[in-house]
A and B are shown apart, each in its own frame.
Chain A
Amino acid sequence: MSSPAATAAKPASRKPGALRGQDLGRYTLLIVLLLIVVVTAIGNPRFLSVNNLLNILFQVSALGIVASGQTILLIAGGLDLSVGAALSVAGLATALTIMHTGSVALGILAGVVAGTVIGAINGMLVATNRATPFIITLGTMTFLQGVAILMSGGSPINGTGALFDVFGLGDFLRVPWPVYAMFLAILVMFLILRFTTLGRYAFAIGGNEEAARLSGIPVRRIKIALYALSGLFVGVAGVILTGVLDSGLPSMGTGYELRAIAAVVIGGTPLIGGRGTVLGTLGGVLLLGLVSNSMNLLGVGANFQSAVLGLIITAAVLLQKKA
């Protein structure tokens, strides 16, 4: 799957001028996406139905929100592996609050605050320690997985009332609400990255942290703010996923961290930071969603799916390295 994409993308890499690396990443992604669409559509005509396409968007909506937040961290040269576990904690905070108070509003607040606070704590640990974000957030990830199990007592917290009505069942113009939430998250991140000082500082820190410091940028404070911002997105995703499932589960966020990072990297943001776009991340999220969906429709077994997904992620990263 990757080799035709590679050869097709080659000419782009020869193009002189400013945006070589990003162009290659972007074209690769588009070509792979098209290829999957064509192959699947031939294999199963149902694939291109509006219902199925909406279904794909619905399924990736929480991932899209988490990946949007992760994008600015990678641009700033950071990384948060704990977002999956944090999503579980935020979702459980929502479900438990609704169960005990009966208030959906308080439940939403609890989830969003939980996600933001966890992000801020990660940010403080990363900003004030020399250990890499990878190791630090690997630690908090393990800790938060434990917290999620303790919060839930090991079993689902069921019943979210109006939250389920909106995010689990509700739609507007046939488009489910979580899909709007995802596009809103992407729009917000797009605006932050392009039009705010915070976004600019993220690029500067990821591109050259020492130069950022010598330019008077408060690097530590900005890092904490960025992790808190990503945490906010995780909290929102936790609330929405809880509504979709009508329950909070200690395992609901498992695997989100790797898929979110994969989506960001597939979308052209390098792990070393300094550049990247959230629209690329959207492409990465759609790619992951399309691949899962097409394999389902083509009757590929679940065990095989994971291997194929892994191959695609690896190929995307390798292609990016070359650029």
Chain B
Amino acid sequence: MTSDTPLAIQVQGVTKSFLGQRALDDVDFEVARGEVHGLVGKNGAGKSTFMKILSGAQPPDSGQIIVGGTAFKALNPAEGRAAGIAIVYQNPELHLDLSVAANIFLGAEPRKAFGILDDKAMATRATELLARLGLDLPVNQRLGDLDIADRQQVAIAKAVREKAHVLLLDEPTAALNKAQAEFLFRLIRDLAKQGMAVVYVSHHLDEVLAISDRITVLRNGRKVALVEGGSADKDGLISMIVGRTLDAVETHRSLRPKTEPFLVMDGVSSTGGLDNVSLEVGRGEIVGLTGLIGGGANALAAVIGGIDHRHVAGRMSLGGEPYAPRAVREAIARGVLFIPEDMRGRGLVMSLSIAKNISLAALRRLSRLGWLKLAQETGVATDMSERLDLNPRAPSREVRFLSGGNQRKALLGRAIFADGRLFVLEEPTQGVDVESQRQIHDHLRSLANKGATIVFVSTDLEELIALADRILVLRNGRIEQALSPDRLDPERLLSAIQTQSTRSVN
């Protein structure tokens, strides 16, 4: 406790499990009125689950939330709002076709007689409110015409109008530039001065340190530390975030001989956010891409995988031949298989069976003149399930009934069956259990040993160190650092990702 100021929100012993895995384990948390409270942790540490429970999007398994003098076993979103909790996401959920004023007053519009909307009063009151917050926004402008920073301010103004006294900010600066971020920090400090309790979640530790009065560190679903913002430093924070996990990191790097480059990129920029990237990846090499959100790791994977083909400049070659896919199927024809992070949205066809999902990218090999060889397809799926230890061994089972780990295996099986020579994966083991993670890592290593080239995006420090032969840290669309995972510990990797300067340590 910083002082005896009254608490705005207090969380006691909150626990939450998903499919038997603890996402949050007996977490206590409190924010005083007028306090900015930072919340940090690795991906998977439980931050997003915790925010969901605070905002009422998900109920905890046990524990309670005390807000406004009332104890809740679980909040629903309406109760959360009524209790004065407001959440602002990095991409605020607002109505783009309504005006700024209409967004701020949505659901509480000033009215004249007979219930007719009083647009004039609404505009006046919106102007007053924004002026009080030190914001200069055109109240009658359509929100969709404003940029992300302005929209975020509108979302915060709306929270103030709703008399929120707890404001949850989730990665608020991910899409902001430096000046916009500075402005947001001033706004947050002003709000805190007026008594607002702010929970600030971010991967940018410099920001968290700069703005927070206190910082809670989550690791593996547990609260491992509560530190005063003034007394903490970044290195200390990083070791608390990472913990002593060195012994947990297993590296199975086999000593593959250095081979000729397979993928060569020369000065590639893309409208998706790449800035003059040059890169060589050898046959049989496993390269891990990482960085903060928006740093360019995913943009680079999308360009290599043929997903984003709006290059603005640069050249690529694959196995010595020029490589410029204009559609995903051209990339697949060259043996480049992209495996997206979002399995449900972009990867699997949930209404189809395991067999039909595995064969999808290479139906040509299972058909003659447009006629499918169904028996052969079942055989392929059975073999692949055997090879990847994909359970259940029931090729006709729809993939929506599988666990996350087995769904990822099915996606990997599709890429293998499509004769992948270069696998591009996003977060290859996100959301899977430890055993499946180990298996997927083993399969990727054995593919590399057989000569396949693997490029994967990950924010999981242990995964990067365990799996990659080389780790590339991207920032602002550029490759900022190339690290060897040998003798690299998660702490040093995290501080490399967190480094703000732009020097190359190649």
Contact = CB atoms under 8 A, between A and B. Distances in A.
Given A203-B349, A203-B351, A275-B351, A214 B338 contact: yes
A207 B349 contact: yes
B360 A212 contact: yes
A299 interface: no
A215 B331 CA distance: 10
Size class of the A contact interface (CB-based, 8 Å): 20 to 34
A215 B351 contact: no
Contacts of B371: 195-197
A218 B363 CA distance: 12
Interface in B41-68: none
A206 B401 CA distance: 19
Interface string A212-225: 11111110000000
A216 B329 contact: yes
Interface of A: 18, 195-198, 200-201, 203-204, 206-208, 210-218, 274-275
A153 B345 CA distance: 51
Most buried by B among A208, A210, A213: A208
Given A18-B397, A200-B363, A216 B333 contact: yes
A216 B346 contact: no
A25 to B, nearest CB: 14
Contacts of A197: 363-364, 367, 370-372
A213 to B, nearest CB: 6
A206 B338 CA distance: 21
A46 to B, nearest CB: 43
B210 interface: no
Given A197-B364, A208-B349, 11 more contacts: A18-B397, A200-B372, A207-B350, A207-B352, A208-B345, A208-B346, A211-B349, A214-B328, A215-B418, A216-B333, A218-B329
Nearest to A203: B352
B300 to A, nearest CB: 17
Contact of A214 (B333, B340, B367, B401): B340
B496 interface: no
Contact of B372 (A196, A212, A215, A275): A196
Given A203-B352, A207-B350, A215 B401 contact: no
A37 B31 CA distance: 69
Nearest to B338: A214
Contacts of B396: 18
B56 to A, nearest CB: 27
Contact of A215 (B307, B360, B370): B360
A217 B361 CA distance: 7
Contacts of A216: 328-329, 331-333, 361, 418
B374 interface: yes
A198 B360 contact: no
Nearest to B340: A214
A214 B396 CA distance: 22
Interface string B321-343: 00000011101110000101000
Contacts of B363: 197, 200-201
B414 to A, nearest CB: 7
B212 to A, nearest CB: 38
B83 interface: no
Nearest to A199: B372
A198 B397 CA distance: 22
Contact of B348 (A198, A208, A275): A208
A23 B364 CA distance: 31
B402 to A, nearest CB: 12
B356 interface: yes
A171 to B, nearest CB: 33
A215 B361 contact: yes
B427 interface: no
A204 B360 contact: yes
Interface residues of B, number: 33
A197 B365 CA distance: 11
A212 B347 contact: no
A203 B356 contact: yes
Contacts of A204: 349, 352, 356, 360
Contacts of B346: 208, 210-211, 214
Contacts of B340: 214
Contacts of A275: 351
A60 to B, nearest CB: 28
A322 to B, nearest CB: 17
Contacts of A198: 370
A275 B396 CA distance: 14
Given A195-B374, A197-B372, A217 B351 contact: no
**Closest 9 pairs (CB-CB, A-B):** A216-B329, A274-B351, A207-B349, A216-B332, A215-B361, A207-B351, A215-B360, A208-B349, A275-B351
A160 B394 CA distance: 55
A46 B414 CA distance: 57
Contacts of B348: 208, 211
A204 B399 CA distance: 13
Nearest to B305: A214
B367 A208 contact: no
A46 B460 CA distance: 73
A275 B351 CA distance: 7
B398 interface: yes
B57 to A, nearest CB: 25
A198 to B, nearest CB: 6
25 contacts: A18-B398, A18-B401, A196-B367, A196-B370, A197-B370, A198-B370, A200-B356, A203-B351, A203-B352, A204-B356, A206-B351, A208-B349, A208-B350, A208-B351, A210-B345, A210-B346, A211-B360, A212-B349, A213-B328, A215-B328, A215-B360, A215-B414, A216-B328, A216-B333, A274-B350
B349 A274 contact: yes
A208 B350 CA distance: 8
A216 B370 CA distance: 16
A195 B372 contact: yes
Contacts of A215: 328, 332, 360-361, 414, 418
Nearest to A273: B351
B342 to A, nearest CB: 9
B41 to A, nearest CB: 30
Interface string B392-430: 000011100100000000000010001000000000000
A201 B352 CA distance: 11
B135 to A, nearest CB: 34
B383 to A, nearest CB: 19
Nearest to A210: B346
Nearest to B377: A200
A260 B397 CA distance: 30
A149 to B, nearest CB: 38
A213 B418 CA distance: 14
* Residue among A201, A204, A215, A274 having the largest count of chain B Cβ atoms under 10 Å: A215
Given A18-B401, A196-B370, A197-B370, A214 B347 contact: yes
A183 to B, nearest CB: 21
Nearest to B366: A197
